[in-house]
Amino acid sequence: MPTESPLLRPYRDGSLSLPNRVAMAPMTRGRADDDTGVPHPLTSLYYAQRASAGLIVTEGIWPVRTGKSTPGVPGIATAEQVAAWREVTTAVHAAGGRVFAQLWHAGRVSHPSLIGEQTVAPSAVRAEGRVYVKGGWTGTTTPRALSTAELERLVEDFATAARNAIDAGFDGVEIHGANGYLLHEFLADNTNLRTDRYREKIRYPLEVTEAVVAAVGADRVGYRISPGNPENDLVEKDWPALYRELLGEFTRLGLAYLHVVGTDEKVFPEVRPHWPGLLVGNLHQGPPSGREDAERLLEAGLADVIAFGRLFIGNPDLPARFATGAPLVQVDKQLHYGSALKGYVDFPAVTTTRWPSPVPA
């Protein structure tokens, strides 16, 4: 039996103690109330069903409304949102899990119809491509550049969102600095054309991280990067040098973990020597990342924990399935996003059941 898998070994070091190395990657599911940004009442069940993950990172959550990317993305700015997240963390903890909230500002990858105003970014540069709005895909729009003062206020908004997350019972927050959204846009050559102090590419992501660390403590802060990932029309010419610099600062701050999205596997050997702490690796190369590649990364010491995204949608008891060799469900893409409840909490565990299993029709 494959029980000796390195994925099933506990991780104990630094501030986090995890029962296995199978993390749930952050995944937007679009089920929150689109007007209020309050998570759906079933969101607590959805995450509790997945509480056997070594660590859950929630879907991206906006700290301020301009950071919202697609319909049904939740926020963590209002009292009502915080109260709903408290139900989620209570349910996950009752089921034995650990959960970090992902703080996500989408930057230019949004649309005025979603946020009620022009989109915002480091510079007024439109992304090639399309964005998803209510009713389907549409063309991107040109964002406006945030002023220095606005960016300073947004640093505070991130810190407030982190405090709200801790108030809501989260074990920590993950700052979303990957995949072409606001913080990543500061790192890229084609999206950061600023002339103020933020022209120094790592400066803004670093100021946000420092403020979040000051608000909730470094041992409750993770950061997600995707070096060299061209998603959402980003160009990073010399990413190894840039990320070395950024990781030097994160090392100084002593963050709880670094989450690395590898659209190219070469990213991991490049990053690992510059990050001494817990490294959560996530392969993002087309089809859902699988077990063999994950085990290879762990055995090579290139990551300490592996995050799985899509496999966690259809297999809420993923670690136990890895342990027992139970078959894995692949989920139809159509069910990933959307306000419909089909595909949300209706994938049963086939192994142990540690939570109630009421499922709505």
Least distance (Å) between residue 361 CB and ligand FMN: 23
Write out the two tokens for 22.
Answer: 């199978």
Whose CA is closest to 33, among 172, 169, 134?
Answer: 134
Considering only 49, 52, 70, 102, the residue that binds ligand FMN (CB under 6 A) is 102
Binding residues for ligand FMN, total number by CB under 6 A = 23
By rule CB under 6 A, what string of x and - marks binding of each residue 17-36 to ligand FMN?
A: --------xxxx--------
Contacts with 160 (C-beta within 8 Å, 6 or more apart), sequence order:
63, 77, 215
Contact segment (CB under 6 A) with ligand FMN among 39-47, 214-222, 269-277, 284-292 equals 284-292
Considering only 258, 289, 304, 344, the residue that binds ligand FMN (CB under 6 A) is 289
Write out the two tokens for 341.
Answer: 């409840």
Considering only 50, 108, 194, 224, the residue that binds ligand FMN (CB under 6 A) is 224
Residue nearest to ligand FMN (CB): 309
Least distance (Å) between residue 310 CB and ligand FMN: 4
Q: What angle do CA 297, 271, 200 make, to 5 degrees?
A: 155
Catalytic annotation, residues? 181
Least distance (Å) between residue 359 CB and ligand FMN: 20
Q: Is 60 in the site for ligand FMN (CB under 6 A)?
A: yes
Q: If you write DSSP's letter for every residue of 36-94 in order, what string do you get?
A: T-PPPTTHHHHHHTTTTSSEEEEEEEBSSGGG--STT--BSSSHHHHHHHHHHHHHHHH
Nearer to ligand FMN, 67 or 169 (CB): 67
- What is the enclosing helix (H) or strand (E) of 103? strand 99-103
Residues 168-187 that bind ligand FMN (CB under 6 A): 176, 178-179
Considering only 111, 194, 284, 291, the residue that binds ligand FMN (CB under 6 A) is 284
Task: Quote the CA–CA distance of 156 and 178 in Å, as a whole number.
Answer: 20
Contact segment (CB under 6 A) with ligand FMN among 82-90, 208-216, 302-310, 321-329 equals 302-310
Nearer to ligand FMN, 194 or 204 (CB): 204
Task: Quote the CA–CA distance of 303 and 295 in Å, as a whole number.
Answer: 10
Q: Are strands 16-18 and 11-13 parallel, antiparallel or unpaired?
A: antiparallel
Task: Quote the CA–CA distance of 14 and 30 in Å, as a whole number.
Answer: 33
Q: Is 207 in the site for ligand FMN (CB under 6 A)?
A: no
Nearer to ligand FMN, 184 or 201 (CB): 184
Nearer to ligand FMN, 98 or 105 (CB): 105
Task: Quote the CA–CA distance of 218 and 97 in Å, as a whole number.
Answer: 20
If you ran DSSP here, which 8-state letter would residue 4 be given?
G
Which residues pair with residue 145 across a beta bridge?
A: 121
Q: Is 63 in the site for ligand FMN (CB under 6 A)?
A: no
Residues 103-162 that bind ligand FMN (CB under 6 A): 104
Least distance (Å) between residue 189 CB and ligand FMN: 22
Considering only 146, 161, 258, 261, the residue that binds ligand FMN (CB under 6 A) is 261
Q: What angle do CA 17, 22, 25 make, to 5 degrees?
A: 105
Under a CB-based contact definition with an 8 Å cutoff, are residues 250 and 209 in contact?
A: yes
Least distance (Å) between residue 99 CB and ligand FMN: 14
Least distance (Å) between residue 103 CB and ligand FMN: 10
Task: Quote the CA–CA distance of 173 and 73 in Å, as a whole number.
Answer: 17
Under a CB-based contact definition with an 8 Å cutoff, are residues 27 and 313 in contact?
A: yes
Least distance (Å) between residue 149 CB and ligand FMN: 28
Which residues pair with residue 223 across a beta bridge?
A: 175, 258
Binding site for ligand FMN (CB under 6 A): 25-28, 59-60, 102, 104, 176, 178-179, 224, 261, 282, 284, 288-289, 308-311, 336-337
